[in-house]
Amino acid sequence: MIGQIDNSLFDEIYVEQETQNLLPSSMIFTQRLLWGEKGLMRTTKILPLNIENREKELKIRRRMLKAHQVIGYATLASMVAQGILGTKLYNGQYELYKTHKMIGNIATTSYFTGAGLSLFAPPPLISRKDKGLNSIKAHKWLATVHFSAMIATNLLAESEKKYHRAAAFTLFGSYALAVVSFKF
């Protein structure tokens, strides 16, 4: 062993540099929790961080974001139905209450399913640092608004009609803009 160099230290440095380049410089906390260098997928060895697995992850990401998009359109349709039913209910057609509640549960479930697909998707290869407003930034900003409005709408459903309605309209408006933002 005298005169021999221990290469294990150099191997560790090489592996560390290789894995750092496989992940973007910044990730949201949900991505870091699952897909980060010390994330659940890495520590459980389900998908160790290497080039082959990152390629698999990017395919998974694509499928998850496509599903997010499809569920987003379905959720928007259920929100339109909710708006129609809610307005009729607000105007005294109380026989629609059960239908409104059922469609509301469907809208809430599809909303949070779509949100989960986006929040827990593997991270992209690189972090974009575009200056100015673009469709992705607009979508993310609007997501903050409609996520908060969705929670408020559900919390106020049984107690404060006036505020529930305001939260629902805020939810629909910001959600519809978020969906449309990707078309422009």
pLDDT at 167: 96
Residue 16: pLDDT over 70: no
Tell me the domain boundaries of the chain: 25-181
What is the pLDDT confidence band of residue 131, given thresholds at 50, 70 and 90? confident
Residue 106: pLDDT over 80: yes
The SS3 of residue 125 is coil
Residue 158: pLDDT over 50: yes
Distance CA 10, CA 37 (A): 19
pLDDT at 160: 85
Kindly report, residue by residue over 5-14, the tens digit of the pLDDT. Answer: 555 544 544 4
What is the pLDDT confidence band of residue 4, given thresholds at 50, 70 and 90? low
Residue 50: both structure tokens together: 């290497």
Residue 66: pLDDT over 70: yes
pTM metric for this prediction:
0.82
Count of other CB atoms within 10 angstroms of residue 59: 11
Helix (H) or strand (E) run with residue 72 in it: helix 51-90
**CB under 8 Å to 177, separation ≥6 — which residues?**
138, 142
Count of other CB atoms within 10 angstroms of residue 49: 20
Residue 105: pLDDT over 50: yes
The mean pLDDT value of the chain amounts to 88
